[in-house]
Amino acid sequence: MKESISLPHPVLGIDDDIKDSSFQIGFITQIINDESFKITINSIDIKNDYFNKLLNDGLIEFNIWLLCSSTFHHTNFRFTAQETELEVSLENLANHLELEIFITAKDGFEYYDTSFNEDYLLGQNKGVFTIRRGDIVGWGGKMRISLGESFINSAQRMFQFKPNSNPYVEIDLTDQNCIIVNYPKKLNEDDVDMMNYLTKSNPFVSLQIFIIPALIEAISEIRKQGENKDDFINDYSWAMILHETIDGITDESVTPSLLAQEYVTNLLRKNRPLSHLLLTELKGN
């Protein structure tokens, strides 16, 4: 497999580092009860006698490195056997995942086999390498996996609602983790609780009053950053989520209003209650 990975020793699965050999892990992925992302390993295929011996001797193990750029969550699953199940909470994920598969050393050992490409015999070590614990000796590829339903979860985490004494709805984009929607709180006994009333009686109106205006301001704020856009997106989690989920977010030919409506339309297509968007309120001061 062609890949721009360069290490001082041969790596199973990289170009022709190791002759007439291959490494593949078969697995299926699924979302369980809208709560967790599950990876089930159903096959491990190593076509190389030397590496199969290293595995049987307990010197190497498999790794699946998982990264979710929308939430900055990352983890590394380590295992040695087939029929392994790996699981991560959807609370830590949104939009898509990147998975990368490795074989790494569980301990140090002398690394040499006649299946190594002859080019590795030219150095002073004559093709014999000292491998340390954690060194990569195999690579099984990388892939991008869409999470589908977790698109809803990313929207949930992106908004927080805060009652205040101001009679108007205001959007606060200064929090790095979420977009805060400030709305009029109930000041007197006879007043209507705006959030509860709209959420229960007309959730579609609540989208027009709270969510769409917040998205319009957020998209506009991202566009204002100009050359600093990448740094801004990396610093603000809500900006990263929008950047990952809205195509053309910086395309000036498409208005923020249209993009905001398309985003909400995609949420509604998931056939989930609109109340999923209206989160627990932040405590007011």
CATH of the domain at 96: 2.60.40.10
Is 6 inside a domain boundary? Answer: no
CA distance 135 to 166: 58
* Phi, psi torsion values for 27, nearest 5 degrees: -155, 160
Position 161 scores a pLDDT of 81
- Residue 280's pLDDT band (cuts 50, 70, 90): very low
The token duo for 90 is 């959807």
Burial of 131 (0-12, 13-18, 19+ CB in 10 A): buried
Q: Do 107 and 161 belong to one domain?
A: no
pLDDT at residue 32 greater than cutoff 60? yes
Q: In terms of pLDDT, which residue wins out, 283 or 250?
A: 250
pLDDT, tens digit (0-9, with 9 covering 90-100), for 194-250? 556 555 555 566 677 788 899 999 999 999 998 898 889 888 888 887 887 787 888
Handedness of CA 136, 140, 146, 150 (dihedral sign): negative
Query: Domain ends where: 98, 113, 148?
Result: 148
Among residues 194, 190, 189, the alpha carbon closest in space to that of 164 is found at: 194
DSSP 118: G
Please answer whether residues 101 and 140 qualify as being in contact, where contact means their C-beta atoms are separated by less than 8 angstroms: yes
Is 191 inside a domain boundary? Answer: yes
* pTM, rounded to two decimals: 0.53
CA distance 274 to 212: 13
Among residues 139, 141, 140, 149, the alpha carbon closest in space to that of 96 is found at: 149
Query: Lowest mean pLDDT: which of 63-72, 169-178, 182-191, 211-220?
Result: 182-191
Q: Do 135 and 166 belong to one domain?
A: no
Query: Domain ends where: 105, 131, 148?
Result: 148
Element (H, E) at 188: none
Please answer whether residues 48 and 10 qualify as being in contact, where contact means their C-beta atoms are separated by less than 8 angstroms: no
Q: Do 106 and 199 belong to one domain?
A: no
- Residue 187's pLDDT band (cuts 50, 70, 90): low
**84-108 average pLDDT score:** 88
Highest mean pLDDT among 151-155, 235-239, 262-266: 235-239
Among residues 34, 28, 247, the alpha carbon closest in space to that of 148 is found at: 34
Is 11 inside a domain boundary? Answer: no
Query: Lowest mean pLDDT: which of 5-9, 30-34, 66-70, 79-83?
Result: 30-34
Query: Lowest mean pLDDT: which of 22-36, 57-71, 100-114, 210-224?
Result: 22-36
